[in-house]
Amino acid sequence: MTQSDRQDRAGLTRRRFLKTTAAATGAALGSGAIGAPMIWAQTIKDVTLNQVGPSYSVIADIAEKASADLGFKIVPQTADSTALMAKVVTQPETIDIADLEFWAMQKVWRSGKLQPVEIAKIKLWSKMTPLMRDGKNFDGSDLSRQGTMPFEVMYTGGPGDTSFATEATDYATTMPTIYNADTLGIRSDLIGRPVESWAELFNPEFKGKTALVNIPQIGIMDAAMALEAMGEITYADKGNMTREEIDHTINRLIELKKAGQFRAFWSTFDESVNLMAAGEVVIQSMWSPAVTAVKSRGLQCVYQGLKEGYRGWGLGMGLMGHLEGVKLEAAYEYLNWYLSGWQGAFIARQGYYSSVPETALANLTPNEIGYWYEGKPATEDILDPYGAVMDKAGAVRDGGSFQDRMGHVACWNTVMDEERYMVQRWNEFVSA
């Protein structure tokens, strides 16, 4: 029996408690002896929550399942991180729950448009992986501090505090949900030899067959991983470059572009999939679900583990400041549902990890656990979240186990101190 099933049978969710209370005290309606719990029970079914975030986290299938389980409506709307940050600040009333990458918190938390998450209301917070909750690796050591480690923007002092706490508190800026260790995608069938280093991204052998993600904050870090692997430069912090380091990186990118190294600079999931599936690109910046999408077409696409390590990222669900009353209670219902296992299993099948692995594992088959989390060969075909075959029996997940992948993060997605200058120079590169 899964964790979610046990909770359902025990009637532990607030919604079930409220429904039970309503049924037991229905006679009180006529007497006026009705309190707030009764009102919530009657009105929670009428709640609609607007969830906005990137397409890889705000997924219609997940919203539909949550709506069916919880009895109120989750309306998903996708927006890339840059558009979402602007929306949080300038149109906060159009969002109830914002799916924000941790690096984005550096920009939006200080706006005061979000309210903190009360950790006491998150039932499985204690089960959350220390990677997110404590900033610790599997062996108890500190995670890489290049870039924005999730823990650095995880906690705050309480309602009204727009700063980040340096240690764990009773309030979180967001509730961590999904995360991954990103690397390069390759068409192994078209390359035909081992690829072991980020340096291969700029190898002249792949001239005209490479691509970078056209999100400045991420694309420049992929470039930095490659340039450092080539031995050209050693960055003090790839996630927070000096102007001199930015200039070196962008100048080299412009040189490479003029030499014809790049086929494209993609901005959307579909662009990256189509470039790789068509064979126009054989090595590029890529996201795990995009690799899954290419593999489900029967093509040999690999999310290649590289010796220098991964670029890590994480994302959490933030509560907008205007939420209150029954709508805020419903939002906490949804956050708790999100960690109960079904969603964790769904996103595992596209290559992402849940902040509460225990419940995700309880909703996966032994074969899926072995493949996605343990680095073991699949005992039968591996299916993506929509039922399509994306890997065959005998295959091993690229990069190995959960511990092997997340334990080897070299840097984290971030916002640099020289953000404006970096974006200006990145745009010079793209338009050069």
Do the two domains 42-180+313-362 and 182-311+402-431 of this chain adopt the same fold?
Answer: yes
Domain boundaries along the sequence of the chain: 42-180+313-362, 182-311+402-431
3-state secondary structure 357-411: HHHHHHCCCHHHHHHHHCCCCCCCCEECCCCCEEECCCCCCCCCCHHHHHCCEEE
CATH class as words, domain 182-311+402-431: alpha beta
Does 7 score more than 60 pLDDT? no
C-alpha to C-alpha distance for 61 and 65, rounded to whole angstroms: 6
> Largest Cα–Cα distance of the chain, in whole Å?
82
Per-residue pLDDT tens digits for 128-182:
999 999 999 999 998 888 999 999 999 999 999 999 999 999 999 999 999 999 9
Please give the single-letter amino acid code of residue 363: N
Q: What are phi and psi of 45, to 5 degrees?
A: -65, -20
pTM value is: 0.84
- pLDDT category at 191 given cuts 50, 70, 90 is very high
Write down the pLDDT at residue 261.
98
Strand ranges in 255-377 using DSSP code E only, listed in sequence order: 262-266, 283-285, 301-304, 310-320, 353-354
In this prediction, residues 59-77 reach a mean pLDDT of 97
pLDDT band at residue 30 under the 50/70/90 scheme: very low
- Average pLDDT for residues 8-35, to the nearest whole number? 37
pLDDT in the model for residue 399: 87
Q: What is the mean pLDDT of residues 369-390?
A: 94
What's the confidence (pLDDT) of residue 10?
36
Q: What is the pLDDT of residue 280?
A: 97
Instruction: Give the pLDDT band of residue 22 (cuts 50, 70, 90).
Output: very low
Name the CA radius of gyration of the chain, rounded. 23
For residues 184-202, average pLDDT: 97
Distances (CA, A) of 187 to 209, 240, 264, 303, 332: 10, 31, 16, 9, 42
Task: List the one residue out of 329, 302, 325 whose CA is nearest residue 399.
Answer: 302
Q: Name the nearest CA neighbour of 337 among 43, 24, 51.
A: 51
Other Cβ atoms closer than 10 A to 33: 10
Fold (topology level) of 42-180+313-362: D-Maltodextrin-Binding Protein; domain 2 (3.40.190)
Q: Is 181 helix (H, G, I), strand (E, B) or coil?
A: strand
Q: 110-126, pLDDT tens digit by residue?
A: 999 999 999 999 999 99
